[in-house]
Amino acid sequence: MNPTQQRIVEICLQVIEMTHDEIGLNDEFRSFAHIDSLKSLDLMTALEREFKLKLPEAELREFETIGKVIAVVERYLPEMVAA
């Protein structure tokens, strides 16, 4: 996992208030009752601030797992596009 991906994981865990031990990269957020659409929006906002980008709200549908969040953010990061 590269530093950018690791930072995305850290932000996800912070926003959803969970630890690595409680949720894995491929565990669906919906499996956890306290993770709802507002939490997903909070997550999107935190990622936009951290990486100085704008994610389309339609991408919220993809925020199902931490792994999918990583994939969404990487699609919009300029350095990932150039790679």
| pLDDT tens digits, 25-53 | 999 887 776 677 788 899 999 999 999 99
- What percent of the chain has a predicted confidence (pLDDT) above 90? 65
Taking the model in full, what pTM does it have? 0.88
Distance CA 3, CA 8 (A): 9
Q: Into which CATH architecture does domain 3-82 fall?
A: Orthogonal Bundle (1.10)
